Structure 1
């Protein structure tokens, strides 16, 4: 399956935020970790092997470990909070892009948020203002045409949604 997905290439420019917070346990936690690790493995450099922490101070983490079990342990122990600051997530992505002098086609196209949606709120700001600020920052750095889409993937029984599905730049 992984080899087929790699050949297809549809996840080569993706990144994941894995919610491993206190509300995540059992199947939702396992799926969050598994999907996040899958996307990190299928991404191309400089994103390959990396995940973003579910935190108000999100960090780009290199997944550590020699085998699947040790990588899984690493991901489940990553720093986490009950919310995440999406502007800072995109700031981290932009830092990598600017420092690496990446071409627009090397940028993240889609950012997956794997969560049970049981967090305080997705962000401290309304999505419209967050998204406008993200677009502005990307434009200022020369990446205005490649602002990633965010895909919120609800892994739990929650009916909560962090944003409306009709919001620009979002899929649920």
Structure 2
């Protein structure tokens, strides 16, 4: 069980890295396709993407904590000696804890009047994905900073492990 406990930090930070990597990718795709129109009558239009994160259910953390406590060595009979009924139903959580995410597409479009554009409809309106560039750049910078924070957590854990071998 010790390797699971040691590597759970890496697994949790890895999930955080995956979420931020996907947020960076979605913001980049949105920025790249902000000015792309689709030919009139075509359903092949870029849809702006967002990354929706979901909080981890509390039971997942509780199971990880109880699993960690149940593997501790005891030096006194008054300490934890046998699994409680709550501990017996615990399953190993090798995936660590961390956010779960889902990429969703939005059906938001903006229209601009440009009768000379090849993709203009009969009224001269051109349909574009409704992408707010300021918002997307903010998402990009924020995700980048959070990605760096997760990398710092991994580096800190590596240093802790390295120092523990020096003792």
Relative to the length of structure 1, the TM-score reads: 0.22
Which structure shows the bigger proportion of residues in helix conformation?
A: 2
Larger Rg: 2
Q: Which has the higher contact order (CA 8 A, sep 6+)?
A: 2
Relative to the length of structure 2, the TM-score reads: 0.22
